[in-house]
A and B are shown apart, each in its own frame.
Chain A
Amino acid sequence: MKGWLFHLAVLGVLAVLAVILPAYHANNLARVLVLAVFATGYNLAFGYTGMLSLGHALFFGAGMFGAALPVTLWGWGGLPVLGTGMLAGGVVAAAVGVLALRTKGVSFMIVTLMFAQAGYLTLIYCNAVTGGDQGLVLPGAARQVLGLDLTQDGSRLWLALGIYAAALAGALGLVGSRFGRVMLAMRENEERSRMLGYDPYTVKLKVLVISGLYAGLAGAAYGVFFGYAGAGFATVQYSILPMLYSLLGGAGTALGPLIGAAVMFWLIDFASGLTNAYLMLVGVVLIVVVLFAPRGILGYVRERWLPWLP
């Protein structure tokens, strides 16, 4: 109960920000929220279940093109393509998971990375359909969802907040359930879990598909919100970003990915105003966090003050 109220309050704060933020930062917040949806899904696999994947860029890209292609090929509208994008992320995650989950640990990381690279090259190769390097620009007519015109900053932010709220509620519900307890069990001790009657393969496959649905929805939203789908979003850095967001904010905490995404985004925003070598500053901050709060910002808060945080 306390947990739900706390998270509701956080969403309330975000809603207030949506009202008062100036256009530039409102736009950034929309971007951060979509990336936080992506990272929240990543965190279900990584932070809660212990799967270190470098394949999530592929699920994100699948969502983006799963949304963009129905628009460019058949002229579909904004709301249905959010659904097709989400589905595409889940289906691709299932296909990758069926094969990649035969491995674990470092091998799993490498196999998922290979799949993602293969997916990226496929997007480039099929340039007649995907636009290759150029990508696809989505027409304004396709960027209308539930009466919201997503070419406008304000409506974009409100929809982003709505999607994030749903994603957060879904994650909280999942990790608070019996299945959520099994997810933790897989992370903590796979062999023990097998001897309690749980098949690690199917449990992890389920979580990976859920995580893929999150990535797909985020990719679709990113495409529809900002009117562009590009193969660049399927490159390895888009697998690493949600991992960094999770680690920075707190892997295995529900709000950690949002905090990580926000801190990282505004840190880069701020640092790139100071110097061209802004990634160095970002690196220093990451090292400091790993040294002094190895469980991330929210992991630290949970350890110190709020042990009930999910």
Chain B
Amino acid sequence: MAAVILQAKGLAKAYGGLKAVDGVDFALNAGEIHALIGPNGAGKTTFVSLLSGRIAPDAGQITLAGQDVTALPAHLRVRKGIAYTFQITSIYPRLSVFDNVALAAQSQGARDLAGAVGVALGRVGMQGLAGQEAGTLSYGHQRLLELAMGLALKPKVLILDEPTQGLAAGEIDDFGALVRSLVPHTTVLMIEHNMEVVMDLAHRITVLNFGRVLAQGTPAEIRANPAVQAAYLGTDDAAA
């Protein structure tokens, strides 16, 4: 059993009467690619927002490498190694690609800023675009830039919120290869709707439904799980 890098115990968050996340226990093993799936409204984004500190939980505890980070504000969790990339591309459109990545790199105290930015851009294959204004990039490149910013943070845990949304088939393949190249050095937690990508990339999968963990296991186990099929993977009666 690999060491647990990020752990949540009894995590809960309610909006009014709606329990978006309802007592979730979760453990992320160091060096794995872990996918978080579930129907719309299952609480996936709320859950990773709790992990990254963007919103505060009503109850529960979060530990990063054994250290309790529940009370830490988001920016300090980022510095401790939890990076979050946004579902809706969230770059600085009026700044250059270089500045976008440099903001991430200098937050980690990079001494050689140009070097660190070059490495991060190199990993996503965007070395030649450093001088361009980020807002003028194609959508696919903006998603990659977002990823490069995440990488430049040198995170222990990289949380990707629907990273392949809106990408073309070829871009998705490149993305998959890239994510695979990150582990085991970095641990990846990704929310993803594209089942092909999930089954292809993930070592383990957690299924959320109505704010609770419905199932957890390897892709093969999840595929075979009748509860998951009913709730999500789309048997005929589930669609009704």
Q: Which residues of A contact B (CB under 8 A)?
A: 178, 181-182, 184-185, 188-189, 191-199
Q: Is the CB of B93 within 8 A of A195?
A: no
| B113 and chain A: residue at smallest CB distance | A178
Pairwise interchain contact B95-A196, C-beta atoms closer than 8 A: no
* Known contacts A181-B103, A197-B79; is-contact A188 B92 (Cβ 8 Å): yes
Q: For residue A189, which residues in chain B have a CB less than 8 angstroms away from its CB? A: 90-92
Chain B residues numbered 102-133 whose CB sits less than 8 Å from any CB in chain A: 102-104, 106-108, 113
Closest Cβ of chain A to B198, distance in Å, is 24
CB B204 to nearest CB in A, in angstroms, measures 25
Q: Flag if B90 contacts A196 (CB, 8 Å).
A: no
Q: How far is the CB of A177 from chain B (nearest CB, A)?
A: 10
- Would A196 and B153 count as touching, CB distance under 8 A? yes
Residue B151 interfacial (CB < 8 Å): no
Structural contact, A192 and B92, CB atoms closer than 8 A: yes
Interface string of B84-97 (1 = CB under 8 A from A): 10100011111100
Give the distance to chain A from B107, nearest Cβ to Cβ, in Å. Answer: 4
Q: Are A185 and B95 in contact (CB under 8 A)?
A: yes
Flag whether B149 is at the interface (Cβ < 8 A): yes
Check if B92 sits within 8 Å of A185, measured CB to CB.
yes
In whole Å, how far is A184's beta carbon from the nearest beta carbon of chain B? 6
Q: Does B99 contact A (CB under 8 A)?
A: yes
Cα-based distance from A222 to B162 in the complex (angstroms): 56
The answer for the CA separation of A195 and B49 in the assembled complex, in Å, is 11
Asked whether A194 and B75 contact (CB < 8 A) given A181-B102, A184-B99, A185-B103, the answer is yes
B91 contact from A178, A181, A192, A194, Cβ within 8 A: A192
**A189 to B, closest residue via Cβ:** B92
Do residues B78 and A196 form an inter-chain contact, with CB atoms below 8 A? yes
Instruction: Please give, as numbers and ranges, the residues of chain B lying within 8 Å of A199 by CB-CB distance.
Output: 73, 75-76
**Which listed residue (B79, B90, B95, B108) contacts A191, Cβ 8 A?**
B90
Instruction: Say whether, besides A188-B94, A198-B107, A181 and B99 are in contact (CB < 8 Å).
Output: yes
Compute how far the CA of A182 lies from the CA of B75 in the bound complex, rounded to whole angstroms: 13
Interface of A (DSSP majority class) = helix
Most buried by A among B52, B86, B107: B107
* Binary contact readout B29-55 vs A (1 if CB under 8 angstroms, 0 otherwise): 000000000000000000000001010
- Chain B residues near A192 (CB, 8 Å)? 86, 90-92
> Which of B73, B84, B92, B153 counts the most A-chain CB atoms under 10 A from its CB?
B92
Docked-complex contact B95 and A197, CB < 8 angstroms: no
Which of A184, A188, A191, A197 touches B107 (beta carbons < 8 Å)?
A197
* Given A181-B102, A184-B99, also A197-B92 (CB < 8 A): no
* B205 interfacial contact with A, CB 8 Å: no
CA distance A196 to B100 in the complex (A): 10
**Residue B74 at the chain A interface, CB threshold 8 Å:** yes
- Contact A197 B91, CB 8 Å, known A178-B106, A181-B102, A181-B106: no
In the bound complex, CA of A181 to CA of B73 (Å): 22
Show 18 A/B contacts (Cβ-Cβ < 8 Å), sorted by A: A182-B103, A182-B106, A185-B95, A188-B93, A188-B94, A189-B91, A189-B92, A191-B90, A192-B86, A193-B103, A194-B74, A195-B83, A195-B86, A196-B78, A197-B76, A197-B78, A198-B107, A199-B76
Closest 4 CB pairs of A and B: A197-B107, A197-B78, A188-B92, A197-B79
Q: How far is the CA of A184 from the CA of B93 in the complex (A)?
A: 11
Q: State whether A198 touches B92 (Cβ < 8 A).
A: no
Q: Which residues of A contact B99 (CB under 8 A)?
A: 181, 184
Which of B73, B76, B93, B103 is in CB contact (< 8 Å) with A196?
A: B103
Given contacts A192-B90, A195-B75, 16 further A-B contacts (CB under 8 A): A181-B99, A181-B102, A182-B106, A184-B92, A184-B95, A184-B99, A189-B90, A192-B92, A193-B103, A195-B52, A195-B84, A196-B107, A196-B153, A197-B79, A197-B104, A197-B107
Q: Shortest CB–CB separation between residue B114 and chain A, in angstroms? A: 12
Residue of B nearest to A199 (CB): B75
Bound: A192/B73 CA distance, A: 14
Bound form: Cα–Cα A196–B92 in Å: 12
Query: Which residues on A sit within 8 Å (CB–CB) of B94?
Result: 188
Measured between beta carbons, the chain A residues less than 8 angstroms from B103 are 181-182, 185, 193, 196, 198
How far is B91's CA from A166's CA once the two chains are assembled, in angstroms? 34
Chain B residues with CB below 8 A from A182, complex form: 103, 106
Q: How far apart are the CA atoms of A110 and B45 in the complex, in Å?
A: 34
Listed residue (A184, A189, A191, A193) with the most chain B CB atoms within 10 angstroms of its CB: A189
Query: Is B102 within 8 A of A196, CB to CB?
Result: no
A178 contacts across to B, CB distance below 8 A: 102, 106, 113
CB distance from B161 to the nearest CB of A (A): 11
Report A-chain residues with C-beta under 8 Å of the C-beta of B92: 184-185, 188-189, 192
Q: Is the CB of A197 within 8 A of B153?
A: yes
Do residues A195 and B95 form an inter-chain contact, with CB atoms below 8 A? no
Give Cα A192 to B92, complex, Å: 8
Let me know if A195 and B106 touch, CB within 8 A. Answer: no
Rounded to whole Å, the gap between the CB of A306 and the closest CB of chain B is 16
- Roughly how many angstroms separate A227 CA and B182 CA in the complex, as a whole number? 66
Complex-state Cα separation, A152 to B74, whole angstroms: 56
